[in-house]
Amino acid sequence: MVKLGELAKVIRSKNAGPFLVTIDILLDDPGCYEKLSAMLTREFIAKVYSVEPSEVVDIKRIDNLRALKIVLKRKIPAGEPGDRDVYGAQQYALLLGVEVDGC
């Protein structure tokens, strides 16, 4: 097992409007990209983020970049009272320590 943060070239997150956050995962290795693309399902992401699978709006593959784009509903709209990450820039952090089968 290896941590996702060690496999990925880049993991980052940002706002996608006031109600959504996107998380980008970019990988160098084509085989690893294929393996992780199959593993990172809505159910898997929902478990990591402690949300219902319906809160995972989409998981998009961008094959020519070996990138995955995960779109999540925000629990609190950006900038509302109680929002601790108005830019969505820290939402990727939960994925860094997720252990996956090595590629």
The answer to whether residue 93 scores a pLDDT higher than 80 is: yes
**Structural domain boundaries, residue 31:** 2-79+86-95
What pLDDT band is residue 103 in, cutting at 50, 70 and 90? Answer: confident
DSSP labels, the chain: -EEHHHH-SEEEEEESSSSEEEEEEE-S-HHHHHHHHHH--HHHHHHHHTS-GGGEEEEEEEGGGTEEEEEEE-SS-TTSTT-S-TT-TTTTHHHHT-EE---
The answer to the question of residue 102 being in a domain is no
Looking at the domain assignment, is residue 7 inside a domain?
Answer: yes
Does residue 103 sit within a domain? no
Under 8 Å between Cβ of 103 and 36: yes
Instruction: Examine the pLDDT at 66 and tell me if it is beyond 80.
Output: yes
Q: Tell me, yes or no, whether 73 lies in a domain.
A: yes
Instruction: Give me the chain's average pLDDT, please.
Output: 95
- Token pair, residue 34, equals 């294929």
Amino acid at 29: D
pLDDT-derived band at 102 (thresholds 50, 70, 90) equals confident
Distance CA 58, CA 100 (A): 21
What does the pLDDT read at residue 58? 98
Whether 29 is in a domain gets the answer yes
Domain CATH code at residue 55: 3.30.70
Is residue 37 one of the residues assigned to a domain?
yes
Number of domains within the chain: 1
Examine residue 35 and state whether it is found in any structural domain, yes or no.
yes
* Residue 12 maps to a domain: yes
Asked if pLDDT for residue 71 goes beyond 90, the answer is: yes
- The model's pLDDT over 23-54, given as tens digits with 9 standing for 90+, comes to 999 999 999 999 999 999 999 999 999 999 99
- Residue 3 half-sphere exposure toward CB, CA atoms < 13 A: 8
